[in-house]
Amino acid sequence: MNKVIEVKNLTKTYGKKATAFTALKNINLSINEGESVAIVGKSGSGKSTLMHLLALLDKPTKGEVLIDGIESTKLKSRDLNKLRNERFGFVFQQFFMNAGDTVLENVLLPLKIAKLPRGKRKKAAMEALKIVDLESKTKNKATDLSGGQKQRVCIARAIVNNPRIIFADEPTGNLDSATGDKITDLLFNLNKKQGVTLIIVTHDEDLAKLCNRIIRISDGTIISDQTVRKDLKKTASIKRETEAARVKKANERK
């Protein structure tokens, strides 16, 4: 199995001296390519902190984060940014869109950073927007969208670069269940069809159960790490069918 992420003795302390707080304590963990991993735990347990370190958005106080065997703390920031932009997609609420820009401009951004030739950018962005069913909103300003639509733009932006790993922090938080299911389907579809590794922080046990692995965190330490089933694909597709059936019924009612 191909280890995409490996962390060794990871510790994160915020602040200094009297206000120092150790949010993660000596975490050891590896994630294989194609896994879907749920990180669960109470509020304040360290989930987002761990996610930020795995996604190379923050640096550990101690320990190592290896991405495809590369020790990330040794990379220059330019190489780090490149690696992140090429391989990762983020669905983070606080990683919000540029509100004044249009939906299309928001989705084009990672492609600009990746220096994809101009002519290819729009096609790729439109394809991603089609997947999240927002083709009709491409010219709208990001601020003018509903919460669920904004979340879908974030997903389009996360997938537009064909990332190998998608990090999602509460991807279905604050969404109605139908929109949440749609986003869940989207993510697991990428996992199943394209082998994208999913790492999802969630409070939603149902969403966690769709993952093939559940890591539980409490007070900055891993208290359990369970590989639930190897064949999560089956469950994800069952859920997808249910969702498809639900949408069909809803349309029939209209």
The string over 60-92, giving b where at least 16 C-beta atoms fall within 10 Å of a residue's C-beta and e elsewhere, is: beebebbbeeeebeebeeeebeebbbebbbbbb
Residue 45 interacts, among Mg ion, ligand ATP, none and using kind-specific CB cut-offs from 5 to 8 Å, with ligand ATP
- Chain position whose Cβ is nearest to Mg ion: 48
Residue 94 interacts, among ligand ATP, Mg ion, none and using kind-specific CB cut-offs from 5 to 8 Å, with none
Work out how close the CB of 232 gets to ligand ATP at its nearest, in angstroms, rounded to a whole number.
23
Build a one-symbol-per-residue string for 13-32: x at contacts with ligand ATP by CB under 6 A, - elsewhere: -xx-----x-x---------
- Token pair for 178: 């139908």
Give the nearer residue to ligand ATP in terms of CB position, either 14 or 244: 14
Work out how close the CB of 43 gets to Mg ion at its nearest, in angstroms, rounded to a whole number.
7
The reply on whether position 202 binds ligand ATP by CB under 6 A is: no
Q: Which residue in the set 35, 36, 37, 46 belongs to the binding site for ligand ATP (CB under 6 A)?
A: 46
> Interior CA angle at 151 toward 145 and 153, to 5°?
75
Alpha-carbon gap, residue 28 to 225, rounded angstroms: 11
Beta bridge partners of 141: 102
Give the nearer residue to ligand ATP in terms of CB position, either 91 or 128: 91
Residues found near ligand ATP in the complex (CB under 6 A): 14-15, 21, 23, 41, 43-49
